[in-house]
Amino acid sequence: MQAPVAVTVTIGSGLLLLPEPTGRLLALPAGRRAVRAIGLADLLLATAMLTSRPRWPAMLARAVLNLLLGALYLGRAGTSDDPGRARRMGYVMGTLVAVDSATAATMRRRGW
């Protein structure tokens, strides 16, 4: 559980505190406020993954956030400065949806 939380905290902090450079690094096709909102959502999810009982709903919520981000990347790929990169990021988010969903299902079965 520590690895997903560490990644979520790192990315969320960067998006919230340094939205322009972190958003550029991640090729996020969104304005400053939206990038900060995504960062805040990441930090809230990390907190929930550490403190909630059971924890699987927080992991499932992370999968949903990744699904929305993937749709954002793919939906704006055509107007992106680098459409190929935007599409790749969308596919990465889709992969994370699958991983987080499977993790949430396993956590639920185990009562986490």
In tens, the pLDDT along 9-51 reads 999 999 999 999 999 999 888 889 999 999 999 999 999 999 9
Euclidean distance between CA atoms 61 and 11, whole angstroms: 16
Residue 1 pLDDT greater than 70, yes or no:
no
Q: Which residues of 91-106 are buried (b: 16+ CB within 10 A; e: fewer)?
A: eebbebbeebbebbee
Task: Give pTM, 2 decimals.
Answer: 0.90
